[in-house]
């Protein structure tokens, strides 16, 4: 595995970078790492917004126990 | 094509996972398909693990509310992507309950984002009718990659229902991108012969031979034979289109094993097709045989080719080197195809014939024994003598002395052939 692939992708891939990426340039690796970062961030934001919206839909009587499970 | 993962297909899967356009990841197509798959596996892990805690809590909270309400919340608040992330964290029967309250369009959208391996039990418990409806929806939107991901996780009943719900073209396109290629044989086993017949006709009419031959590459040898026979029973136009595709897309390495698996009658029909007689077609067939060591596949075809085509192949074989002839002989020995090789060798030009004669002269005792026995069983003595004629007198004597230890009936027939061909050194050595 190339050093560049390891250095650039490791933080975004949970420390595990598969081999065989040697032919990608640093620019391409960086672009992919940024896309991954954005995808993870987008998913987290979407999830948080969805949880808030869900709590609005859950009947009042269930909101407390549901909130307790979600946020402890 | 065995074990081959198409880079563009793998790039599309990776792009979907991170919500990107496949075009933006086009540079990944330079990599091996397996590398992209490995990368996608790791991206799947991080995407699913990124919010695992909260996703798990949402899944747990879902238990508190009725399935119908969970479906409403899923559709309105979470959307298809997040529901896909949560699906594998739900109890399977609960997930199916919720799915039953969701519209098919939403479920098909959800299935685009689902990692089937993480939701295998849920997929396995989905009712066949629901699966069929989702499959039809996915086929309509040409989402073959997503469909292919579910094969191997669906129940047999659901798979049958899905197969009924999609047309032949969708089925071929799905099979091509199927995640678990090892399941293709089981999938084909579920299809009745009439459907397989239609699918082959579709491969021709929709120009999907790459997809169809990939399927044929992943079925069992018996299925390959059945499918090959079905193909051979179609009109010339169907087979001609396969030949054209094999020629233009370099698919002979996939076609030749199918031809070998066919019944002798079907193979003969294929061998006498007008479209394979052209020199450039025969040349690509031979190149593929050389490239992928498909000599046995070629040897079963050779005796069935019309004389003119066989002569063309013989002319092309003059370019073979000694190593190639060694490979061919080794295939003939291992696959018990000596008669085909000897008959072909007898038609070769002097040069290549001499190479084969020398290799026979230098062969091990067990190779020579199996050759002689096969030649005798097939009454090919005259052809063998025609090849051995190219040996020097010393070579003939040396080989004849070795052959002299063969069983009497083999020896007599060969001596007779040597005599008829006036090959004195060989004849004398055989009768010593």
DSSP A12-57: TTTT---S--TTS-HHHHHHHHHHHHHHHHHHHHHHHHHHHHHHHH
B31 neighbourhood in chain A, CB within 8 Å: 20-21, 23-24
A16 neighbourhood in chain B, CB within 8 Å: 42, 45
The pLDDT-based confidence of B297 (bands split at 50, 70, 90) is very high
pLDDT reported for residue B386: 95
Residue B305 has pLDDT above 90, yes or no: yes
B60 neighbourhood in chain A, CB within 8 Å: 69
pLDDT digits (tens, 9 = 90+) for A8-62: 999 999 999 999 998 999 999 999 999 999 999 999 999 999 999 999 999 999 9
Expressed in angstroms, the distance from the first to the final Cα of chain B is 53
The pLDDT-based confidence of B49 (bands split at 50, 70, 90) is confident
Expressed in angstroms, the distance from the first to the final Cα of chain A is 42
pLDDT digits (tens, 9 = 90+) for B238-251: 999 999 999 999 99
Average pLDDT over residues B168-190: 92
pLDDT reported for residue B1: 45
The pLDDT-based confidence of B256 (bands split at 50, 70, 90) is very high
Burial of B189 per CB tally in 10 Å (0-12, 13-18, 19+) = exposed
pLDDT reported for residue A1: 54
Residue B9 has pLDDT above 90, yes or no: no
The Cα of B86 is separated from the nearest Cα of chain A by a number of Å equal to 11
Q: Quick one: DSSP state of residue B24? A: G
pLDDT digits (tens, 9 = 90+) for B317-372: 988 999 999 999 999 999 999 999 999 999 999 999 999 999 999 999 999 999 99
Residue B96 has pLDDT above 90, yes or no: yes
Domain of residue A24, residue span: 3-71
Instruction: Give SS3 for A10.
Output: coil
The pLDDT-based confidence of B2 (bands split at 50, 70, 90) is very low
Other C-beta atoms lying within 10 Å of the C-beta of residue B208 = 23
pLDDT digits (tens, 9 = 90+) for B69-91: 999 999 999 999 999 999 999 99
Residue of A nearest to B19 (CA): A39
B400 and B429 Cβ atoms separated by less than 8 Å? yes
pTM: 0.83
B374 and B410 Cβ atoms separated by less than 8 Å? no
For chain B, give the percent of residues with pLDDT over 90: 91
In angstroms, rounded to a whole number, what is the distance separating the alpha carbons of residues B381 and B250?
37
Residue A65 has pLDDT above 60, yes or no: yes
What integer best gives the mean pLDDT of chain B? 93
pLDDT reported for residue B287: 93
The domain segmentation of chain B, as residue ranges, is 203-312, 320-432
The Cα-based distances of B89 to A13, B17, B100, B164 in angstroms read: 22, 18, 17, 30
B234 and B195 Cβ atoms separated by less than 8 Å? no
In angstroms, rounded to a whole number, what is the distance separating the alpha carbons of residues B135 and B179?
16
CB contact under 8 A, B61 and A69: yes
CB contact under 8 A, A19 and B31: no
Residue B3 has pLDDT above 60, yes or no: no
Q: How many domains does chain A have?
A: 1
The pLDDT-based confidence of B4 (bands split at 50, 70, 90) is low
Residue B173 has pLDDT above 60, yes or no: yes
For chain B, give the percent of residues with pLDDT over 70: 99
The pLDDT-based confidence of B5 (bands split at 50, 70, 90) is confident
pLDDT digits (tens, 9 = 90+) for B125-167: 999 999 999 999 999 999 998 999 999 899 999 999 999 999 9
B260 and B300 Cβ atoms separated by less than 8 Å? yes
In angstroms, rounded to a whole number, what is the distance separating the alpha carbons of residues B165 and B103?
17
Q: Which of B208, B174, B205 lies closest to B191, judged by CA?
A: B174
pLDDT reported for residue B109: 95
CB contact under 8 A, B43 and A36: yes
| Chain A contacts to B (CB-CB under 8 A) | 12-14, 16-21, 23-25, 28, 32, 35-36, 39-40, 42-44, 46-48, 50-51, 53-54, 56-59, 62, 65-66, 69-71
Instruction: Please give the sequence-ordered ranges of beta strands (E in DSSP) within B30-122, or none if there are none.
Output: none
pLDDT digits (tens, 9 = 90+) for B188-241: 999 999 999 999 999 999 999 999 999 999 999 999 999 999 999 999 999 999
Residues 6+ apart with CB under 8 A from B334: B296
The Cα-based distances of B291 to B81, B210, B247, B288, B403 in angstroms read: 45, 19, 15, 5, 34
């Amino acid at each position: 595995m190339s050093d560049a692939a390891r250095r650039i992708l490791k933080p975004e891939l949970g420390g595990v970078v598969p081999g065989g990426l040697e032919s990608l340039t640093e620019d391409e690796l960086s672009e992919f790492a940024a896309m991954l970062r954005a995808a993870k961030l987008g998913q987290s934001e979407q999830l948080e917004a969805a949880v808030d919206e869900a709590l609005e839909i859950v009947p009042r009587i269930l909101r407390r126990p549901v909130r307790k499970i979600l946020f402890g | 094509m065995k074990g081959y993962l198409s880079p563009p297909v793998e790039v599309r899967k990776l792009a979907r996972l991170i919500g990107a356009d496949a075009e933006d990841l086009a540079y990944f197509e330079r990599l091996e398909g397996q590398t992209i798959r490995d990368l996608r596996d790791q991206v799947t892990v991080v995407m699913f693990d990124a919010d695992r805690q909260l996703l798990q809590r949402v899944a747990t909270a879902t238990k508190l509310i009725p399935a119908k309400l969970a479906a409403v919340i899923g559709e309105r608040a979470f959307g298809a992507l997040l529901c896909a992330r949560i699906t594998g964290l739900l109890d399977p029967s609960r997930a199916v309950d919720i799915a039953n309250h969701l519209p098919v369009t939403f479920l098909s959208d959800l299935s685009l984002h689902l990692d089937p391996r993480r939701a295998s039990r849920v997929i396995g418990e989905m009712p066949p009718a629901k699966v069929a409806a989702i499959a039809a929806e996915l086929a309509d939107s040409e989402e073959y990659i997503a469909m292919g991901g579910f094969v191997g996780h669906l129940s047999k009943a659901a798979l049958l229902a899905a197969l009924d719900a999609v047309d032949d073209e969708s089925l071929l396109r799905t099979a091509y991108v199927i995640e678990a290629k090892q399941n293709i044989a089981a999938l084909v086993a579920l299809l009745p012969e009439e459907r397989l017949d239609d699918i082959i006709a579709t491969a021709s009419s929709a120009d999907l031979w790459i997809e169809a031959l990939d399927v044929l590459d992943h079925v069992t040898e018996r299925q390959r034979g059945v499918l090959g026979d079905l193909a051979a029973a179609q009109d010339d136009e169907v087979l001609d289109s396969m030949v054209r595709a094999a020629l233009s897309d370099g698919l002979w390495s996939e076609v030749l094993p199918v031809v070998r698996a066919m019944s002798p009658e079907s193979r003969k029909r294929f061998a006498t097709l007008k479209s394979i007689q052209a020199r450039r077609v025969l040349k690509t067939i031979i190149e593929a045989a050389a490239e992928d060591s498909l000599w046995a596949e070629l040897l079963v075809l050779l005796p069935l080719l019309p004389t003119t085509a066989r002569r063309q192949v013989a002319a092309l074989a003059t370019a073979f080197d000694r190593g190639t002839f060694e490979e061919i002989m080794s295939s003939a020995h291992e696959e018990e195809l000596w008669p085909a090789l000897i008959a072909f060798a007898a038609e070769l030009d002097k040069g290549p014939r001499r190479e084969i004669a020398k290799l026979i002269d230098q062969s091990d005792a067990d190779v020579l024994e199996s050759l002689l026995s096969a030649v005798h069983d097939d009454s090919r003595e005259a052809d063998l003598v025609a090849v051995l004629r190219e040996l020097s007198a010393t070579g003939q004597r040396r080989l004849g002395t070795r052959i002299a230890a063969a069983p009497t009936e083999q020896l007599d027939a060969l001596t007779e052939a040597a005599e008829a061909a006036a090959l004195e050194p060989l004849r004398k050595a055989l009768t010593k």
